Amino acid sequence: MPPSLSDPPFQPTCAAPDVLPLGLDSFVVRFATHGGRDHPGAVQAYAQAFKEIAFDGVVEVALALASLRVVFDPARTDVGALSALLRDLAESRDWYQDGSPPPRRRWQIPVAFGPDFAPQLTEVATLTGQTTQETIRTLTNTDLRVLAIGFAPGQPYIGLLPPVWDFPRQSDLTPEVPAGALTAALRQLVLFANPSPTGWRQVGLTAFRPFLADRNTAFLLDAGDALCFRAVSDAEMHSLLADNRDGRGGARCEILS
Applying CB under 8 A, among 21, 102, 163, 195 the residue interacting with other proteins is 21
Count the Cβ atoms, other than its own, within 10 Å of residue 24. Answer: 8
Say if residues 208 and 191 touch (Cβ distance below 8 Å).
Answer: yes
The verdict on 148 binding other proteins (CB under 8 A) reads yes
Return the range that interacts with other proteins (CB under 8 A); candidates 64-72, 89-97, 111-119, 201-209: 64-72
Alpha carbon distances (Å) from 137 to 6, 141, 185, 190, 228: 16, 6, 17, 18, 11
Alpha carbon distances (Å) from 28 to 20, 50, 61, 86, 153: 5, 13, 10, 10, 20
Torsion, CA 152, CA 153, CA 155, CA 156, rounded to 10 = 120
Site string for other proteins, 187-226 (x = CB under 8 A): -------x----------------x-x----xx--xx---
The SS3 call for residue 254 is strand
Beta carbon of residue 214, minimum distance to other proteins (angstroms, whole number): 9
Return the range that interacts with other proteins (CB under 8 A); candidates 26-34, 88-96, 112-120, 231-239: 26-34
Beta carbon of residue 71, minimum distance to other proteins (angstroms, whole number): 6
Applying CB under 8 A, among 2, 6, 16, 32 the residue interacting with other proteins is 32
Residues that bind other proteins (CB under 8 A): 18, 20-24, 26, 28, 30, 32-35, 39, 59-67, 69, 71, 73-75, 79, 148-155, 194, 211, 213, 218-219, 222-223
